[in-house]
Each structure stands twice: as C-alpha cells, then as structure tokens.
Amino acid sequence: MAFSSLLQWCLIFVLFRSAFAQLSEDYYALTCPQVNSIIKDEMTNILRKEPGMGGSLVHLHFHDCGVSGCDASILLDDTPSVAGEKSAALNQNSTWGYEAIDQIKARVEKECPGIVSCADILTVAARDSIVGLGGPTWTVPLGRKDSLEPHRFMTNLLGALFIGNLETLILAFKLKGFSTEEFVALTGSHTIGRARCTTFRKRIYEETNIDPSFAKATQVHCPRQGNDGDRIPIDCTTPYVFDNAYFKNLMQQKGLLDIDQELYTGKGGPADAIVANYSANQDNFFKEYTTAILKFGQIGVLTGNDGEVRINCRKVNAPKA
C-alpha cells in the first residue's frame, strides 16, 4: 500500500461534503442481515492469501473518502467518455485492492442482489482488514450510497494544489473536529502500509534524520536507480500486524516516508508527545484510532435518494427502462 500521500489526501476532505451523515448500524437488518459476516469471511480468505492486501484496502478507503466523501467513486473504471479517479496521477500505481472489492461484491450480490452499496463494502472491508491483522474493532454504521460519477477533476486539482506540511495538516483536521491525537492515530495506518521506492528514495540516500542502519537496509531493496515501482513495508518490524510498532520506529528515526518522520522530531515537535504516548501504550493508540476512523468514514457520504447501489462497483448502473 503506497501511503506516501495519505496525509495529504486526508486534508483534501476538508474542502468538500463535510456534513456527518446519518447512518445506521442496523441499516441492512431486514434486507441483508448477513452482510457483515459475508465481508468478514471474504476478508479472512483474502488476508490469508495476501496479508499485504489489508493495508491496500485501508489505503483505498482513505483515497475514496478523501476527495468527495466515502462514495466508492474511486472504484469506477474509466469509460470512453469519462476519465475516472483510479487513473489520475495520484492514484495510478498508488492504489490497489480493486479486485478484492470485486470479489467481495460478487459474493454479496449473490446473497443479497442489489442491496449493499460498494461504499459500505469498502468501508467494512477496511475495518475487517485492520481487525484481521490484529488491530482494534469498531461497529461501522451503514447506509452509504454509491456516487453516480467519478471526481477526476477534483482529484487532479486538489492533488496539484496541496503540498501539506505537518502543521497545516494538523490545523486542517482541527477545523473539522479532529484532535491532534486523532490525526496522529490515523497516520498509524502506516503500520500495515507499503510504499514504492520512488516515494522515499531521496530520504534513504540524502537525509540525515534517519537511522543509518535502517537506511542501508532499505537501500538493498531500493537502489539509487531502478525498482521505482517496488513496494516495501513502511513498518520494518511487524509489517503485517496492526500494532504500535510504527510509532516505536519513528522514535528510532526509522520512519520510511518524510511525513512519517516529521511526526517525531525528538525536539519538541507538535506531535512528539503523542507519538511517544502511542509508542508506549498501544491501547491509547487503538482507542484514538477507532474514534478517528469512525468519524472519517462518515464524512460526506451519500444517503437516501442520493446516489445509487451499484451492481458492479466498476461502473454506474444502466438507466432503468
């Protein structure tokens, strides 16, 4: 999972559909009561075959919600007349997991045809990815609808406009009701993330705020030239376990991405104390994380008569005759 732009993408949601929607934990109680069990079963199989897919699905969830709310717009394929989000510069070669969502959707459609949205499936799959890799659990409120179109222009425009530094990102989250603790906790998703060599090559060869042995070990996988698309785990200690090792690594200057290490400077930075807290107390990290991601997954969703329930997550439904 290439989380190199996760924090910048989180900032993007500030500008768009910001209302917290009214969702319901028992939305499918009468129409598809087994939906959570279906998704959990499929995710168990997916993670057993490829544990790295868990991080990819969490990343996909963030990129979906980051542009226009959690509406599954990122899942739409390009068409001859409409360019989608997944082929935009910030998503191409950066997001994975589309086939996994297809697999889950096919199973859900078989048991509950035309009932469960792709947006809900992606949100629950992200939760189950974290739980399946040892992380905390929470109840996902449901009832999201799928968008009728992608938001390619918005994706490109915001990607070009925003180059967020830590202070800017913290402020943006505070303006939307997220504490700094929640913001840093969300970044903890990197504990199961992967990043492409091209996103951190400069850091491991040129920067000084990095543990020399960590830099040298990483250079083996990412030489100065070539291997641009190769992905390595952001958490070098427990890459496929959702835990607080990511924060422990930051305190040892073993942050893979620039924005990771920016969270902990060791010089009294705005997030230093929070990183230290999460490093020492995993329960505190889990508590803040579940609060934050629950809120994030409800921002700007489509409900009621807005949007639709796609039959195929990759394309909007055909017009009704």
- Binding residues for heme b, as ranges, are 190
| Backbone φ, ψ for residue 24 (5° rounding) | -140, 135
Binding residues for Ca(2+): 64, 67, 69, 71, 73, 85, 191, 235, 238, 243
Task: Find the catalytic residue in 59, 61, 63, 151.
Answer: 63
Q: How many angstroms separate the CA atoms of 265 and 253, rounded?
A: 8
- Measure CA 139 to chain center: 17
**Cα angle for residues 14, 289, 163 (degrees, 5° grid):** 35
| Backbone φ, ψ for residue 233 (5° rounding) | -65, 140
Asked whether 130 and 241 are in contact (CB, 8 A), the reply is no
Binding residues: 64, 67, 69, 71, 73, 85, 190-191, 235, 238, 243
Among residues 313, 286, 290, 304, the alpha carbon closest in space to that of 60 is found at 313
Asked whether 234 and 245 are in contact (CB, 8 A), the reply is no
Q: Annotated catalytic, 63?
A: yes
Q: What is the maximum alpha-carbon separation in the chain?
A: 65
- Measure CA 83 to chain center: 22
Q: Can you read off the two tokens belonging to residue 125?
A: 């799959």
Which positions are annotated as active-site residues?
Answer: 63
